[in-house]
């Protein structure tokens, strides 16, 4: 019975460590578009008649980052560079487009420590099981 409990604890520790790491992962990384509304006509801007889905999502949700992971999924970065401005006009409204690269890798030290602690807990449980089993074998009466 003791061995079963220890094996369950070991499996649970591995499960928690793996699922914690997966829970920390997110799509909030890489190329990011953030659009801000501009109340007045800027000095320089370009007309954006047909924005790609990512830019349109950013326009429809101003101030909220739209994570696209890679800039090759949109042409807004090339347009901003070619027009030498990040101000756009879309549907009669002016916007400023910010392009950024976001690194959302979690606190790797904290995650690493958690994984190591859970691993050591599982390893300790395994050592206890082996020690307990050997103690039982050594205490068993000989059949001579």
How does strand 93-102 pair with strand 30-38?
antiparallel
How does strand 46-47 pair with strand 87-90?
parallel
Q: How confident is the prediction along the chain (144 residues), in pLDDT tens digits per residue?
A: 666 766 676 677 667 666 655 554 455 567 889 999 999 999 999 999 999 999 999 999 999 999 887 888 899 999 999 999 999 999 999 999 999 887 655 555 566 666 777 777 777 777 877 887 787 777 766 665
Sequential DSSP letters for 23-72: HH--S--EEEEEEEEESS--SS-EE-SS--HHHHHHHHSTTS-EEEESGG
CA 96 – CA 40 distance, rounded (Å): 11
């Amino acid at each position: 019975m003791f061995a079963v409990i220890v094996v369950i604890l070991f499996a649970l520790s591995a499960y928690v460590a793996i699922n914690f790491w997966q829970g920390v992962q997110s799509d909030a990384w890489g190329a990011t578009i953030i659009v801000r509304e501009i109340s007045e006509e800027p000095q320089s801007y370009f007309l954006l008649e047909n924005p790609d889905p990512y830019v349109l999502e950013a326009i429809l949700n101003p101030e909220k980052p739209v994570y696209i992971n890679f800039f090759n999924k949109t042409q807004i970065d090339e347009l901003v560079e070619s027009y030498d401005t990040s101000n756009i006009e879309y549907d009669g409204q002016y916007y400023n487009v910010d392009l950024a690269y976001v690194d959302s890798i979690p606190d790797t030290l904290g995650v690493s420590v958690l994984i190591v602690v859970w691993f050591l807990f599982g390893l300790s449980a395994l050592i206890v099981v082996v020690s307990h089993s050997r103690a039982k074998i050594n205490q068993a009466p000989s059949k001579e």
